[in-house]
């Protein structure tokens, strides 16, 4: 059924693309403009994480493909999932006078982003956000092109936990380890809170650990933390990893803690080659797929649409479904290409 939905979605996009071509091809002038029609537009792009890191590299690949398809000139800023670094990079990007800023900029939250985004739009710079919502700012600038591409974070966390409870038969009275970002700025924290709320509602005790910055940037460095938590709480039956990089490192964590495949039910976020391998080997049980490549591609497209055609901001939910051992074979080949 999931595969069918995927095909239908692609067909719908193809039909929409065909319809667009049919409209713009009514005159020779507009037909010529469809080839790299965003040429001349300069964009500062934010993949979010470290260069080459899990999740961020898929966002980057989407941004690169959009630049190739549309003809925009793009400069990339790697922020290591560090809000302070991203804040300084955003100011640097504005100073370079691009036409737009696209990608994961909501990481710093509404309060910190407010003055920066106000400054950007006052200078004619379109800001197209992805991954972490800016619920206060976005409505104010939506008419000027500020959209959002990504998941509804609280719902994604809540849905993942409930799906894990159902599929993993997690019982009331049991314990779950949630390794998350409850202390993160703005909307990003809501995904962790959604997981905790769903588990608590189901009567499952939560053992919580905040992801430190070192683990946030280099997930493998968190192995001792994982081992320590699991040894201190041997009654833990499930683990929730609220970070794509940590989810991709699940097999490493479980091996470090001498936990065999299936020894605990492990759920997390985002597809990657390592995630596909861990699902197949049984170390990872369930992930919710954010389709991060789209979080790179579509904000670049948003900036182009606004700068060229004055389109308002688009709100697009990319959290399309769940992946486990029953359907990982469909997605794994695409993950190997760093598209999914």
- Given a contact cutoff of 8 angstroms between Cβ atoms, the answer to whether 279 and 328 are in contact is yes
Short-list 179, 302, 309, CA closest to 249: 179
Whether 184 is in a domain gets the answer yes
Q: Decide the pairing of beta strands 175-180 and 236-241.
A: parallel
Short-list 280, 239, 287, 286, CA closest to 259: 239
Predicted pLDDT at 34: 63
For the chain, report the end-to-end CA distance as a whole number of angstroms. 18
Residues 171, 280, single domain; the answer is: yes
Residues 99, 49, single domain; the answer is: yes
Residues 159, 232, single domain; the answer is: yes
Residues 296, 278, single domain; the answer is: no
Range of the domain at 254: 153-289
In this prediction, residue 319 has a pLDDT band, given cuts at 50, 70 and 90, of confident
Whether 338 is in a domain gets the answer no
Residues 272, 175, single domain; the answer is: yes
Burial of residue 197 (CB within 10 Å: 0-12, 13-18, 19+) is: middle
Predicted pLDDT at 10: 35
The enclosing domain of 181 has a CATH number of 3.40.50.2300
Predicted pLDDT at 320: 72
In this prediction, residue 340 has a pLDDT band, given cuts at 50, 70 and 90, of confident
Residues 279, 296, single domain; the answer is: no
User: Which spans in the chain are helix H?
Assistant: 2-24, 28-33, 56-70, 83-95, 109-122, 138-141, 153-168, 189-201, 213-217, 223-232, 244-248, 250-256, 273-281, 292-309, 328-336
| Beta bridge partner(s), residue 29 | none
Whether 3 is in a domain gets the answer no
In this prediction, residue 2 has a pLDDT band, given cuts at 50, 70 and 90, of very low
Question: pLDDT for 162-201, tens place per residue?
Answer: 999 999 999 999 999 999 999 998 889 999 999 999 999 9
How far, in Å, CA of 10 to CA of 65, rounded?
Answer: 17
More confident residue, 264 or 1: 264
Whether 157 is in a domain gets the answer yes
Number of compact structural domains in the chain: 2
Whether 172 is in a domain gets the answer yes
Average pLDDT over residues 301-328: 95
Predicted pLDDT at 22: 34
Residues 146, 157, single domain; the answer is: no
pLDDT(3) > 90: no
Average pLDDT over residues 268-293: 95
How far, in Å, CA of 207 to CA of 30, rounded?
Answer: 58
Whether 2 is in a domain gets the answer no
Whether 330 is in a domain gets the answer no
Question: pLDDT for 132-161, tens place per residue?
Answer: 999 999 999 999 999 999 999 999 999 999
Could you say which of 273, 289, 305 is where a domain stops?
Answer: 289
pLDDT(33) > 70: no
Rg (CA), the chain: 20
Residues 209, 112, single domain; the answer is: no
More confident residue, 34 or 42: 42
Residues 187, 119, single domain; the answer is: no
Whether 11 is in a domain gets the answer no
* Residue length of the chain: 340
| Portion of the chain with pLDDT greater than 90, in percent | 85
Secondary structure class of 102 (helix, strand, coil): strand
Residues 282, 177, single domain; the answer is: yes
Is the pTM here over 0.75, yes or no?
A: yes
In the predicted model, what is the mean pLDDT of the chain?
90
Predicted pLDDT at 105: 96
Residues 180, 302, single domain; the answer is: no
Question: pLDDT for 195-231, tens place per residue?
Answer: 999 999 999 999 999 999 999 999 999 999 999 999 9
Predicted pLDDT at 92: 98
Residues 87, 204, single domain; the answer is: no
Predicted pLDDT at 29: 45
Predicted pLDDT at 185: 83
pLDDT(336) > 50: yes
């Amino acid at each position: 059924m999931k595969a069918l939905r995927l095909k239908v979605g692609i067909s719908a996009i193809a039909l929409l693309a065909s319809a667009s071509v049919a409209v713009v091809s009514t005159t020779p002038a507009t037909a010529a403009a469809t080839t790299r029609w965003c040429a001349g537009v300069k964009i500062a792009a934010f993949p979010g994480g470290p260069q080459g890191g899990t999740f961020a590299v898929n966002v980057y690949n989407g941004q690169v493909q959009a630049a190739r398809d549309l003809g925009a000139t793009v400069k990339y800023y790697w922020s290591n999932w560090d809000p302070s670094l991203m804040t300084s990079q955003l100011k640097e990007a504005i100073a370079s006078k691009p036409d737009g800023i696209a990608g994961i900029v909501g990481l710093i939250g509404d309060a910190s982003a407010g003055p920066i985004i106000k400054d950007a739009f006052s200078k004619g710079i379109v800001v197209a956000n992805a991954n972490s919502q800016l619920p206060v700012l976005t409505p104010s600038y939506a008419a000027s092109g500020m959209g959002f591409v990504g998941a509804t974070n609280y719902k994604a966390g809540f849905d993942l936990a409930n799906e894990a409870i159902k599929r993993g038969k997690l019982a009331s009275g049991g314990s779950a380890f949630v390794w998350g970002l409850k202390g993160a700025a703005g909307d990003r924290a809501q995904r962790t809170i959604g997981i905790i709320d769903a588990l608590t509602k189901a009567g499952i005790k939560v053992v919580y650990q905040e992801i430190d910055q070192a683990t946030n940037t280099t997930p493998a460095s968190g192995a001792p933390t994982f081992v320590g938590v699991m040894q201190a709480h041997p009654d833990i039956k499930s683990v929730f990893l609220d970070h794509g990089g940590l989810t991709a490192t699940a097999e490493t964590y479980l091996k470090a803690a001498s936990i065999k495949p299936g020894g605990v039910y492990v759920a997390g976020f985002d597809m990657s080659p390592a995630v596909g391998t861990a699902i197949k080997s049984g170390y990872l049980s369930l992930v919710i797929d954010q389709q991060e490549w789209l979080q790179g591609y579509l904000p670049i497209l948003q900036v182009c649409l606004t700068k060229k055609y004055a389109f308002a901001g688009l709100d697009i939910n990319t959290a399309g479904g769940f992946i486990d051992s029953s359907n990982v074979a469909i997605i794994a080949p695409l993950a190997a290409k760093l598209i999914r």
